[in-house]
Chain A
Amino acid sequence: MDGTNAMTSRLGAVSTGSALELRGVTKMFGALAAISDVTLTVRPGERRAVLGSNGAGKTTLFNCVTGDFLPTSGTIRLFGEDVTTFPAHERIRRGLRRTYQISLLFTGLSVADNVYLACRGVSRGRFSLLRPRRGDPLLTRSAELVEAVRLTAARDRLVSELSYGQQRQLEIALALAGAPRFILFDEPAAGLSPTERAELVAILTGLPSHIGFIIIEHDMDVALRVAESVTMMHNGRVFKEGTPAEIETDPEVQELYLGGGHG
């Protein structure tokens, strides 16, 4: 735990504010503590990988940060503001974005409409009764996003007709809508082919440098290529924090990763 604190203060010193700051966040499901006493600070623009075996609490951590669930205790600050009890949409409007481990898309809509909804969600006119006209800036922006995740050829296809890999790309497009400042990627590479993985890495490394993110990733190759810092989780707790090199060579991590089951 000493290492954690040293890391936190080191990173905190680099910039004045933090993008994300968790203090003692615990989430109970009945008697089960899915995450317990998680304290974590991420700088604006920082790219962090979260590692940990299945059931370590990584997705639950994301759900607490985005407001999909409220934490049982602890505080969550987003760009310095206490958002612990804010509903999800309020956090999203402050620049937070996420993708889901299991794609959560509008399967009855086309790719373009999915992205349009995402763009609309973080801009004015969510309640507009007027249909968008040709040349509407949001339509242009949606088309750019579809392009950015390399789905232009499939833009008018229904999401239900897309391949698994394409659905994962669309997940990312939805998280890039508007002006994201901090993104949570939940296992974006899971189930992708090597080519698709390479594309994903290109998308992630190509993000503007002011956009920070946390990526949950089992594939060390992907994680270490896109992240500058690593948080290791185990049994709902933060187990280790450090640079990729520190984590890779840490004997305890090695033991956990080789000894314990990971999926």
Chain B
Amino acid sequence: MADITKSRTDTPTLWVERVHPAVWALGLVMLFMPAFANGFWLFQVFGWTFILGMIALSLMFLAGYGGMVSLIQMTVAALGGYGVAILGPSGVAQISLGLPWWLYVPLAIAIAALFATLVGALAVRTEGIYTIMITLAMASAFFYFTRQNYGIFNGYSGFNLVVPPQLFGVDWRQPVPFYYLTLGCAALAYAAVVYVARSPFGLALQGTRDNPRRMAALGFNVTAHRIAAYTFAGAIAAVGGILLVWQNAQIAPGTAGLPAVFDILVIAVVGGLRRPSGAFVGAFIYVLLRTFSPDVLTAFGLSNERFKMLIGFGFLAMVVFSPDGVLGLWDRWRARAGRRDPLTGKERG
């Protein structure tokens, strides 16, 4: 967990020196990815990974640091997406307001974060399975509401032609610009979560997860802290949702349908809830499966709808064998390898 007092008092090193070399290498590969990956990989595989990773990251923040498993994160993301579709320009001219981007983007994030705050205010009074149930209930209520409401959400058909603004004369839906846009947002969201986890707010949130009664006895308003965590996570999910709408150029109720809601949970759990990077690892695995398993399945003469079964089995295997996700597996493998003699390969015990 965080070491707020230690890292601040006796570390004369620069922060750049404390970053692991492997992280630098990964960062460099990410930065120069467009030099060796084609448009499909950049836009579809990596763009989608970063987007889903951000939404799963918002769940990781709530669940990992706050102990609150919220199923509302996909809905918050979708509301952010609806926000840009409704406030900005879209193909549904009779509803969309066509505000300028510098107004509709922050407004969409603010509205989604406010919604997350309200959901949080209801959900934080519950614990464990009840938090899951109440957020799931609100997620499905949102889904049915958007499907039936034509005045604001344009019902079943939703909004089409929702594209990013042509900022700096760049078409941000082209693979390379979109890759950098999503990479930049994901990196910022990741850095924000890592930084905030060791801020007083983040440390206190972890305190409310481990020992809420003591936190109150230290003067913390546990309820307010948990609600604020929903706001913070909501803002991250909203950015993910906006990018998702821009990627698909459309949004409809199904964007936040129950399958999508559960997918975020699956991604976060498969990646591992203990660390922010888990969200992106989970998203990458999910996107690879979604993208390539239909081809593999049809090659074996199976229906390509079976990919859902694959994902389901993967989830089941994770929950049973490694509740802390792929990153947990990785940690244990590293710990074992560390104990191994490099010459004989035998465990040193």
**A-contacting 9-mer, from B1-9, B146-154, B303-311, B340-348:** B1-9
Cα A121 to Cα B38 with chains together (Å): 52
Q: Determine whether the beta carbon of B219 is less than 8 Å from that of A129.
A: no
Q: Determine whether the beta carbon of B200 is less than 8 Å from that of A98.
A: no
A132 to B, closest residue via Cβ? B8
B195 to A, closest residue via Cβ? A131
B6 to A, closest residue via Cβ? A156
For B213, the chain A residues whose CB sits under 8 A away are 68, 104
Q: Which of B181-212 contact A (CB under 8 A)?
A: 195-196, 198-204, 206-207, 210-211
For A117, the chain B residues whose CB sits under 8 A away are 203-204, 207, 215, 218
Interface centre among B1, B8, B206, B219 (most CB of A within 10 A): B219
Q: Determine whether the beta carbon of B200 is less than 8 Å from that of A88.
A: no
**B-contacting 9-mer, from A19-27, A34-42, A107-115:** A107-115
For B196, the chain A residues whose CB sits under 8 A away are 129
- Asked whether B225 is an interface residue with its Cβ less than 8 Å from the other chain, the reply is yes
Partner of A104, one of B6, B198, B211, B225: B211
Cα A156 to Cα B228 with chains together (Å): 29
Q: Determine whether the beta carbon of B199 is less than 8 Å from that of A92.
A: no
- Asked whether A122 is an interface residue with its Cβ less than 8 Å from the other chain, the reply is yes
Q: Determine whether the beta carbon of B219 is less than 8 Å from that of A178.
A: yes
Cα A62 to Cα B7 with chains together (Å): 36
- Asked whether B214 is an interface residue with its Cβ less than 8 Å from the other chain, the reply is yes
Main DSSP-derived SS at the B contact region: helix
Q: Determine whether the beta carbon of B219 is less than 8 Å from that of A92.
A: yes
- Asked whether A262 is an interface residue with its Cβ less than 8 Å from the other chain, the reply is no
Q: Determine whether the beta carbon of A116 is less than 8 Å from that of B4.
A: yes
Interface centre among B4, B204, B207, B222 (most CB of A within 10 A): B4
Interface residues on A, range: 35 or more
Partner of B2, one of A113, A139, A142, A156: A113
Cα A89 to Cα B219 with chains together (Å): 4
Q: How many residues of B contact A (CB 8 A)?
A: 34
Q: Determine whether the beta carbon of B199 is less than 8 Å from that of A131.
A: yes
For B202, the chain A residues whose CB sits under 8 A away are 129
- Asked whether B217 is an interface residue with its Cβ less than 8 Å from the other chain, the reply is yes
For B203, the chain A residues whose CB sits under 8 A away are 109, 113, 116-117, 120
Q: A105-B211, A116-B5 are in contact. Are A92 and B216 (CB under 8 A)?
A: yes
Q: A106-B214, A128-B199 are in contact. Are A112 and B8 (CB under 8 A)?
A: no
CB distance from B291 to the nearest CB of A (A): 36
- Asked whether B221 is an interface residue with its Cβ less than 8 Å from the other chain, the reply is yes
Cα A122 to Cα B1 with chains together (Å): 22
- Asked whether B220 is an interface residue with its Cβ less than 8 Å from the other chain, the reply is yes
For A122, the chain B residues whose CB sits under 8 A away are 218-219
Q: Determine whether the beta carbon of A108 is less than 8 Å from that of B217.
A: no
- Asked whether A87 is an interface residue with its Cβ less than 8 Å from the other chain, the reply is yes
Please encode chain A, from 75 to 106, with 1 for each CB lying within 8 Å of some chain B CB and 0 for all others. Answer: 00000000000011100110001101000111
Interface centre among A108, A131, A133, A174 (most CB of B within 10 A): A131
Q: Determine whether the beta carbon of B204 is less than 8 Å from that of A126.
A: yes
For A127, the chain B residues whose CB sits under 8 A away are 200-201, 204, 225, 228
CB distance from A60 to the nearest CB of B (A): 15
Cα A174 to Cα B217 with chains together (Å): 9
For B200, the chain A residues whose CB sits under 8 A away are 120, 125-128, 130-132
Q: Determine whether the beta carbon of B199 is less than 8 Å from that of A130.
A: yes
Please encode chain A, from 34 to 67, with 1 for each CB lying within 8 Å of some chain B CB and 0 for all others. Answer: 0000000000000000000000000000000011
Cα A109 to Cα B211 with chains together (Å): 12
For A221, the chain B residues whose CB sits under 8 A away are none
Please encode chain B, from 291 to 317, with 1 for each CB lying within 8 Å of some chain A CB and 0 for all others. Answer: 000000000000000000000000000
Partner of A89, one of B4, B207, B222: B222
Closest 9 CB pairs of A and B: A121-B218, A121-B219, A88-B216, A112-B5, A92-B219, A122-B219, A104-B214, A128-B200, A108-B1
Query: 8 A-B contacts, Cβ less than 8 Å apart?
Result: A105-B214, A108-B206, A116-B5, A126-B219, A128-B200, A131-B4, A132-B4, A132-B5
Residues of A within 8 A of B (CB): 66-68, 87-89, 92-93, 97-98, 100, 104-110, 112-113, 116-118, 120-122, 125-134, 136, 139, 142, 155-156, 174, 177-178
Query: 7 more A-B contacts (CB under 8 A) besides A100-B214, A104-B214?
Result: A93-B219, A106-B210, A109-B203, A128-B200, A129-B201, A131-B200, A132-B200
Residues of B within 8 A of A (CB): 1-9, 195-196, 198-204, 206-207, 210-211, 213-222, 225, 228
